Amino acid sequence: MLSAWRAERRRHALNIGRPPEHDLREIMDAILYVDRTGVQWRYLPRDFPPWETCYGYFAKWQKDGVLARLTGVLRRLLRQKEGKEAEPSACVIDAQSVKTSTSVPAAGQGTDAAKKIVGRKRSIVTDTLGLLLAVLVTAASVQDSVAGTDLIDQVAAAHPAIRKVWVDGGYRQHLVEHAATLATDMETVQRTPGTGGFTRYRSAGPWSGPTDG
């Protein structure tokens, strides 16, 4: 995929300059190194190509949607390896409010009144294996249902096979109704009183759709 991307860009570029001299695998390794360690681009070890080159490719791949397509390919391969269909038929939506550092502009923050957190909220959609399908980062003051509406629209467009969605009690009825207009059954899961931390949930209700998740 990366080789095809580079060949396509060179095909549309002017026939000037030197051909690429760095291996795409090495550039991808550098990007993964930055992602895993959090090191600044300028401090990439010298074993990698120059940081300017690595960052340049990263920025272009992000802009052109290459990284998102790679994530999709890897997700489908892993699902098939786990004995599931390549495309999911069910998913989970959840959100978490987190405090932000003092360097984050105030305009990008908000207050989650219920959790008394000033910062941002990250809302995500995963399949039943926990593999990412969509993500949205907002101010913490944005209601779960508002972010959820955007996410369910994204998922319906990108993963039309999905017919079942699980959410917690923070998502309101109008989101359930919105999901229904997209031919998606949204079920609200209530936490058992007295439980804390992570709890594995298994629906006791009927689910007549595909069983691959």
Q: What is the pLDDT of residue 205?
A: 46
Predicted pLDDT at 207: 44
pLDDT of residue 200: 54
DSSP secondary structure, 17-57, as one string: SPPP-S-HHHHHHHHHHHHHH---GGG--TTSSPHHHHHHH
What the block records as the tokens of 151 is 């996410």
Q: Which residues of the chain have pLDDT under 70?
A: 13-20, 191-213
- pLDDT at residue 204, rounded to an integer: 42
107 & 148 share domain: yes
Q: What is the pLDDT of residue 20?
A: 66
Residue 31 lies in a domain: yes
Q: Which residues pair with 123 in a beta bridge?
A: 95, 136
Q: What per-residue string of b and e applies to 162-193 under the rule 16 or more CB within 10 Å gives b?
A: bbbbbbeeebbeebbebbeebebbbeeeeeee
Q: Say if residues 52 and 71 touch (Cβ distance below 8 Å).
A: no
Render pLDDT for 128-164 as a digit per residue (tens, 0 to 9): 999 999 999 999 999 999 999 999 999 999 999 999 9
Note the pLDDT of residue 137: 92
**Could you tell me if residue 139 is inside a domain?**
yes
pLDDT at 212: 58
Nearest in space to 96 (alpha carbons), one of 76, 125, 124: 124
pLDDT at position 11: 81
pLDDT reported for residue 58? 97
For residue 180, is it within any domain? yes
Owning domain of residue 53: 2-13+21-64
Look at residue 153 and tell me if it is in a domain.
Answer: yes
> Do residues 95 and 181 both lie within one domain?
yes
Look up the pTM and report it: 0.76
Same-domain status, 111 and 53: no
Per the structure, the count of domains in the chain is: 2
CATH code, domain carrying 180: 3.30.420.10
Q: What local confidence, expressed as pLDDT, does residue 177 receive?
A: 92
